């Protein structure tokens, strides 16, 4: 059994270091991508305060190329399919760049799966130069996410790129 209880007073960089170590521990040696995404989403939700959604969208082949399809997550029901280039998740996947959005209502084409969301952080998971998924974090607080959060999630995305 895994028991990870982060100290709520941890500075953000240390919180992200411990989150990375926890994700590494629960995914190391596990070949099942869904299990690894599910555990990673659970740990992210446990370690990072003020989230209303944490999870994955996977890049899946479709008739028109590829699209993002909902993967394991913690939170309210979410949009199932997102076109590449649409919304914050689709933009992160298409551009292969982290999207740190302080105000989702100011983001052109934002897709509102949960009306409570005010800010969002989306990090692409890249393997061999190709985006295979995105990690999506939503918060009901405006400007919840910082560059430290983006850096920490980018390290987790790098770790998971060979495990999902």
C-alpha angle with apex 114: 23 to 35, nearest 5 degrees? Answer: 25
* Number of continuous H segments (helices) and E segments (strands) in the chain: 4, 6
Q: State pLDDT tens for residues 59-112.
A: 999 988 999 999 999 999 999 999 999 999 999 999 999 999 999 999 887 777
CA-CA distances (angstroms) from residue 135 to 1, 67, 87?
Answer: 24, 15, 14
Q: State pLDDT tens for residues 122-161.
A: 999 999 999 999 999 999 999 999 999 999 999 999 999 9
Q: What is the strand order of the sheet 65-75 is part of?
A: 81-83, 65-75, 53-62, 130-139, 119-127, 99-101
Assigned CATH class of 12-160: alpha beta
Q: State pLDDT tens for residues 5-60.
A: 788 888 999 999 999 999 999 999 999 999 999 999 999 999 999 999 999 999 99
End-to-end CA distance of the chain: 21
Q: What is the pTM for the complete model shown?
A: 0.95
Cβ within 8 Å of residue 63, ≥6 positions away: none
Please give the structure tokens belonging to residue 154.
């980018």
- Sequence ranges of the domains in the chain: 12-160
């Amino acid at each position: 059994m895994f028991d990870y209880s982060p100290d709520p007073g941890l500075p953000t960089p240390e919180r992200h270091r411990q989150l990375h170590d926890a994700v590494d521990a629960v995914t190391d040696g596990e070949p099942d991508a869904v299990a690894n995404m599910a555990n990673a989403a659970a740990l992210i939700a446990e370690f990072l305060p003020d989230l209303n959604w944490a999870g994955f969208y996977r890049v899946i082949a479709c008739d028109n190329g590829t699209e993002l399809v909902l993967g394991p997550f913690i939170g309210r029901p979410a949009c199932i399919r997102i076109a590449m280039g649409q919304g914050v998740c689709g933009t992160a996947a298409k551009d292969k760049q982290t999207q740190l959005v302080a105000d989702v209502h100011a983001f052109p084409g934002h897709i509102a799966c949960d009306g409570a969301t005010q800010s969002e952080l989306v990090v692409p998971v890249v393997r061999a130069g190709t985006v295979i998924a995105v990690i999506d974090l939503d918060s009901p607080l405006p400007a919840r996410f910082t560059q430290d959060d983006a850096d920490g999630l980018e390290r987790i995305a790098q770790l998971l790129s060979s495990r999902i």
